[in-house]
Structure 1
Amino acid sequence: MQLSVTILIIAVTVLVSWLAFNDKPLIGRLILWPPAIERHKQYDRLLTYGFVHADWMHLLFNMITLWSFGRSVERVFSVWITPVGYLLFYLSAIVVSILPTYLAHRRDANYSSLGASGGVSAVLFAFILFDPWSKLIIFPIPVPIPAILFAVLYVGYSIWMDRRGRDNVNHSAHLWGAAYGVLFTLLLEPAIFSHFKATLLN
């Protein structure tokens, strides 16, 4: 029986996040804090921030979403680029999704960011390309909605909230993660666009 890469990612993320909840030096070393990258060349923070979370609710929301859609994306990507390729897709999504945030705040000592949302968004939007009319149940929406409708609402809401900048959520990482998931999938298999369009119209 083949080990699920998605389950492995979830297990590692839960373990690291749980350890960091009660270990301030650990979370301080793993979190994205731009000056540490700028001054001390700790480039690993561009990846490690995706394995720590603010609290259990933040962690559970991301991991439940990843578990719900990651297994389907993993099956397809494993055929195209092997399970290792799928793992690299997820890890690279974490890095790519945070780069605009890092560049915007690279000298801001008061800014920090954490959480797997960028990578999870990439996986979710790759899934939406496969099956845009599948029904999603996403907290706090209590009823199933079509994946394509969720995608439109998600992007619109993220753009709006990113411009307002009044909460502690990194909406930019959500947007760039989603864009990366779509672009990576289309570059990997351009025929997916025709599949997506045909499924959407039918």
Structure 2
Amino acid sequence: MNHLELVTIIVIVANALVSIKGFNDFSFFERYKFNIGAIKRGEQVRMITSGFLHADLGHLIVNMFTLYFFASVVINYLSDTKFLIVYFVSLLAGNLLSLFIHKDEYHYSAVGASGAVTGVLYAAILLYPEMHIGFLFIPLPIPAYVFGILYLLYSIYGMKRRNDNIGHTAHFGGAIGGLLVTILFYPEVVIEHPLMVILLAIPIIILFILEKAGKL
């Protein structure tokens, strides 16, 4: 299923063009990145634009490769339009969660399509839980849901370290958005794959427990 549909190409190209502009124009990057203080001053456009900026080329490549791998699953099970809805709802959900968790951190900033991509990742896993992923450095393919869970657990590590400009918190908001929108569009998944719904929810629950305990 992992082939490039037109809608996926458009999203990847949009991310690449905006990110490259940001790499070469510091003022552009600063003007459109996610920043708590700026958003509280009324610059809500950053809630969308920050999702098309990336910290560096590696960050962009990882996000777009992940999107390429999972987008076709969502498009094939749902549609082009519903894929875009999953993408943008997840992007917004990621930034809304970041705004909530970091609301008192005036200088908190982040960039990346990670929230949107995580939403697509979670949607794809929920729709096609039998999927496996192969990596060059791992001899055997691993179940996609294992990758999804590990990805979010790594995000908790990134949130605690806070040594980059990547929106790790947005991964969780994106995952929540992706899960909810997928269930809305295809409610049968709750009956068909109840265990997968529970497994994918585990890292999200861990996040909120840690946040409630003040461990983030």
Measure, in 2, the Cα distance between the counterparts of 1:198 and 1:118.
23
CA apart distance, 1:198:
8.6
The one-letter code sitting in structure 2 at the alignment partner of 1:167 is N
Check the 8 A contact 2:74/2:123 in 1, yes or no: yes
Residue deviations 1:139-163 (CA, integer Å, cap 9, x gap): 875652111222332333334543x
Any idea what SS the aligned residue of 1:144 has?
A: strand
1:130 pairs, out of 116, 124, 127, with 127
TM-score calculated relative to the size of structure 1: 0.84
CA apart distance, 1:24:
0.9
Measure, in 1, the Cα distance between the counterparts of 2:92 and 2:137.
27
Measure, in 2, the Cα distance between the counterparts of 1:199 and 1:25.
43
User: What residue in structure 2 maps to residue 93 of structure 1?
Assistant: 90
CA pair 13-159 structure 1, distance change in 2 beyond 3 A: same
TM-score calculated relative to the size of structure 2: 0.79
CA pair 21-75 structure 1, distance change in 2 beyond 3 A: same
Identity %: 36
Aligned length: 192
User: What residue in structure 2 maps to residue 28 of structure 1?
Assistant: 30
Check the 8 A contact 1:130/1:195 in 2, yes or no: no
CA pair 115-166 structure 1, distance change in 2 beyond 3 A: closer
Point out where structure 2 has 5 or more consecutive residues left out of the alignment: 198-216
CA apart distance, 1:106:
3.6
Point out where structure 1 has 5 or more consecutive residues left out of the alignment: none
Measure, in 2, the Cα distance between the counterparts of 1:143 and 1:107.
44
CA apart distance, 1:77:
2.1
Measure, in 1, the Cα distance between the counterparts of 2:117 and 2:22.
20
Tell me how large the CA RMSD over aligned residues is. 2.4
CA apart distance, 1:176:
1.8
The one-letter code sitting in structure 1 at the alignment partner of 2:63 is N
Q: Runs (4+) of structure 1 moved beyond 6 Å?
A: none
CA pair 135-182 structure 1, distance change in 2 beyond 3 A: same
CA pair 143-117 structure 1, distance change in 2 beyond 3 A: farther
